[in-house]
Amino acid sequence: MKHRVCVFSSSSSTLAPEFYEDARILGELIGKNNMDLVYGGSKVGTMFEIAKAVKQNGGKLIGVMPEKLYNFGVHYDECDEFYLTNDMRNRKAKLDEMSDSIIAMAGGFGTLDEVSEMLVMKQLGYNNKPIIFLNTNGFYDNLLKFYDDIIKKSFAKDTAGKLYYVASTPQDAIEYLVSYDFSPVNLSMEDIYTRIPEGVRPRN
């Protein structure tokens, strides 16, 4: 099976041109690198730009959309596979199930929700998927500073900064993805928790 890249992006059609351009370039690179796209299944916003570019460059489209949005008629009929879910929670689970790696483009609350769940899944050792922030025009700078603050104030371990990679361009994102070490991880309690209280021990 071909590598499947899940891209979280925006459904907005009123963004600055550079966000659509990066979506187009990223989609082109995904297709040309013999990968398929897992995404929200939409024909609006940067979601549509990346989907069109993947399709035009030989990649397949796997769309995942909750029924409520599907009934609005915003789904993309050119998807090679399309999955309907009951709600957003099930949609996130399906996106995770269908993908091998994650790229978060500039997006709104939905993108933040999706990538946050993926970060936690990796942090707890459920998978070792690469998670990449495509930081178009410094879009994620403030969020990344907040992540640094979370780590500095001991709400996350020092190693949490290694959960994700920040790419400044679509080319940078794909280069990181292609060279990523997908070896399975087996995290211990000490890897997950900053300090383990006395008397707390694993059950097995």
The fraction of the chain above a pLDDT of 90, given in percent, is 89
pLDDT tops 90 at residue 135: yes
Tokens for 98, please give them.
Answer: 């269908």
Read off the pLDDT of each residue in 70-88 and give the average, rounded to a whole number.
Answer: 97
CB of 144 closer than 8 Å to CB of 166: yes
| DSSP per-residue letters across 72-123 | TT-B-TT-SEEEEESSHHHHHHHHHHH-SEEEE-S--HHHHHHHHHHHHHHH
pLDDT tops 70 at residue 194: yes
pLDDT tops 90 at residue 147: yes
Residue 147, amino acid: Y
SS3 190: helix
Q: According to the model, what pLDDT value does residue 43 have?
A: 97
Handedness of CA 195, 181, 59, 84 (dihedral sign): negative
Report the number of secondary-structure helices (H) and strands (E) in the chain: 8, 7
The pTM (predicted TM-score) of the whole model is 0.95
pLDDT digits (tens, 9 = 90+) for 94-134: 999 999 999 999 999 999 999 999 999 999 999 999 999 99
Q: According to the model, what pLDDT value does residue 202 have?
A: 72
pLDDT confidence bin for 79, thresholds 50/70/90: very high
pLDDT tops 90 at residue 190: no
Domains and CATH numbers, the chain: 8-98+116-140+154-180 (3.40.50.450)
Whose tokens are 């969020």? That residue is 143
Q: According to the model, what pLDDT value does residue 204 have?
A: 66
Q: According to the model, what pLDDT value does residue 191 have?
A: 86
List beta partners, residue 66.
85
Task: Please state, rounded to an integer, the average pLDDT across all residues of the chain.
Answer: 95
